[in-house]
Amino acid sequence: MAIRPILILPDARLRLISDPVAGVDRETRTLMEDMLETMYDAPGIGLAAIQVGVAKRVIVVDTSKKDEEKKPLGLINPEIVWSGGEPSVYEEGCLSIPDYYEEVERPGQVRVRYLDGEGRTQEIEADGILATCLQHEIDHLNGVLFIDHISKLKRDRVVKKFQKMAKREQQEG
């Protein structure tokens, strides 16, 4: 297992649409293990493969609290097959947009179909923070960032801020 570098806005790869995983193999399982280690190290509650530069439809999530037993979930080719319920609003953040948080409204419940690490088809029904996290990470697989769900003014402001930081780091490096 290895901690992989996380792509940071404005990296253009974050806007790529990830490719489906053709078959679950050792490479896919290693990717998920590395992603979990990277997510826990960051620390975060979700990570999409594209955030570590791999354009594959793979996400990992773990919404357990610090003092609880870890409950890691690896989802390959996840797709939302149903969403509904009362809309919920959470203050979201993203490991690819460090230290920026904004309230986002999403469906309160989802059902997600995916392949597990053994290649078996599974479904999970989620609400609360897990539903939000799954939607956030699946968005990444489609090149969508959580800032795409906020006002254009706020989005433009945060993108500009990260572009300036990246330019500064490039000049210093």
- Say if residue 107 is preceded by a cis peptide, omega within 30 of 0: no
Task: Enumerate the β-bridge partners of residue 19.
Answer: 56
137 is catalytic: yes
- Whole-angstrom CA distances from 3 to 33, 38, 133 are 9, 5, 21
Q: Residue 149 has what DSSP assignment?
A: G
**Active-site annotation holder among 27, 92, 123, 137:** 137
Q: Return d(Cα 168, Cα 54) in angstroms, integer.
A: 26
Q: Let me know: does 62 contact 39? Beta carbons within 8 Å.
A: yes
The three-state secondary structure class of 5 is coil
8 A C-beta contact, residue 120 and residue 112: no
The H or E element that residue 6 is part of is none
Give every CB contact of residue 161 below 8 A, 6+ residues apart in sequence. Answer: none
- Catalytic center residues: 137
